[in-house]
């Protein structure tokens, strides 16, 4: 043929491909741009603290041992509160998914509780549990609870009914069906609920510590904020961001381990 051309390719795009270091590069670029902008005077020093000063504050925190003095109470509050809330949420969500009565009774209740900013209820928790640790646990647990309930019953609803019918047809006991078919089948949904639940629990951790705590990241940020000490404020914020990234990575790891069977 006189005029032959290759067929133009038009099939590319629309596929998510892993690009490992791009996320880190974006953050580094932004931090560098801020540093440079402040040093060159393109931005007023009042807008943001110098990233290098924030890093200096961080080093100071580490050297004085203050970092762990704040971090350890925060982490233990997070661990206790989020664990209680997540377990209760998974439990109630599973009940809603399995029993029509529980669904009819509890879904409207959960819908009523979900949009309440839990921080608004902190005074209530203080009255119930005192100013100490239990009220903080309760607040964090309560905040993790609602998204976990919604995620879990949605996930249980989405378990393949033919698998449950299969279990029944082989005469499996009710407990076996729940343990070996329903819960593993709901696991993907439960884990993505956990992602949201843990992010909310970090937000509430800070809120709880801003009201009545001597040590803790929230207390540290509150103190820095009231003194307009932006370097320390940002050091605290960076810790929270890292915490968020770490929990998200931990759930990613859990997903890879527990959901290896997925395509």
Partner 1 sequence: MDLTVEGLSHRYGDTEVLRDVSLDIPAGRIVCIVGPSGCGKSTLLRMIGGLERPTVGAVMQRGAPPRGSLNPLTFVFQDFALLPWRTVDGNVSLVLEDHALSRAERRTIIDDVLARTRLTDFAGALPRQLSGGMKQRVAIARALAVNPAVMLMDEPLSALDAQTRELLMDDLVALWLRERFTAVYVTHNLAEAVRLGHRVVVLSRRPGRIREVVEIDAPLDARGAMEDVQSHLWGLMRDEARAADAELLDG
Positions touching partner 1 (CB under 8 A) are: 160, 162-163, 165-173, 176, 180-181, 184-185, 187, 259-263
Nearer to partner 1 among residue 127 and residue 259 (C-beta): 259
Q: How far is the CB of 25 from partner 1 (least distance, A)?
A: 34
Q: How far is the CB of 164 from partner 1 (least distance, A)?
A: 9
HSE-up (13 A, CA, CB side) for residue 176:
10
Residue 218 has a CB neighbour count (10 Å cut-off) of 26
Nearer to partner 1, 14 or 261 (CB): 261
Min. distance of Cβ 189 from partner 1 in angstroms? 14
Least Å from the CB of residue 160 to partner 1: 8
Question: Residue 155's closest CA among 180, 123, 131, 190?
Answer: 190
Tokens of 220: 């540290």
For residues 89 and 145, the answer to whether their CB atoms sit within 8 Å is yes
**Structure tokens belonging to residue 71:** 């971090």
Measured from the CB of residue 163, what is the shortest distance to partner 1 in angstroms?
A: 6
Other beta carbons less than 10 A from residue 124's beta carbon: 12
Residue 65 C-beta: closest distance to partner 1, Å: 45
Contact 129, 229 (CB under 8 A): no
**Overall residue count recorded for the chain in this entry:** 263
Nearer to partner 1 by Cβ, of 39 and 165: the residue is: 165
HEC readout, 147-165: HHHHHHHHHHHCCCHHHHH
Nearer Cβ to partner 1, position 124 or 259?
259
What span, in angstroms and rounded, lies between the C-alpha atoms of 146 and 150?
A: 6
DSSP annotation of 182? I
Which residue, 5 or 262, is less far from partner 1 as judged by CB?
262
User: How far apart are CB 198 and partner 1 at their closest, in Å?
Assistant: 23
Of 197, 198, 221, 199, nearest to 209 by C-alpha is 221
Cβ closest to partner 1, residue 101 vs residue 263: 263
Nearer CB in complex with partner 1: 138/190: 190
User: Can you tell me the distance from the alpha carbon of 75 to that of 81, in angstroms, rounded to the nearest whole number?
Assistant: 10
């Amino acid at each position: 043929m006189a005029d032959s051309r290759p067929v133009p390719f038009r099939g590319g795009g629309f596929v998510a491909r892993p690009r490992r270091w791009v996320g880190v590069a974006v953050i580094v670029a932004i931090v560098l741009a801020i540093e440079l902008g402040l040093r060159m005077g393109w931005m007023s020093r009042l807008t943001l603290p110098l990233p290098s000063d924030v890093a200096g504050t961080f080093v100071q925190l580490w050297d004085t041992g203050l970092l762990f003095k704040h971090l350890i109470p925060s982490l233990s509050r997070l661990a206790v509160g989020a664990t209680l809330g997540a377990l209760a949420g998974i439990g109630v969500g599973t009940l809603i998914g399995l029993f029509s009565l529980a669904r009819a009774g509890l879904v409207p209740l959960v819908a009523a509780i979900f949009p309440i900013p839990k921080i608004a209820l902190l005074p209530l928790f203080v009255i119930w549990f005192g100013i100490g640790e239990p009220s903080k646990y309760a607040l964090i647990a309560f905040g993790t609870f609602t998204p976990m309930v919604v995620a879990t019953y949605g996930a249980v609803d989405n378990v393949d009914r033919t698998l449950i019918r299969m279990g029944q047809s082989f005469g499996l006991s009710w407990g076996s069906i729940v343990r070996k078919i329903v819960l593993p089948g709901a696991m993907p949904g439960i884990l993505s609920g956990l992602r949201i639940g843990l992010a909310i629990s970090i937000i509430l951790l800070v809120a709880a510590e801003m009201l009545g705590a001597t040590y803790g990241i929230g207390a540290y940020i509150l103190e820095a904020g009231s003194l307009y000490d932006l370097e320390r404020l940002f050091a605290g914020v960076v810790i929270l961001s890292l915490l968020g990234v770490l929990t998200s990575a931990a759930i990613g790891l859990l997903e890879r381990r527990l959901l290896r069977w997925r395509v």
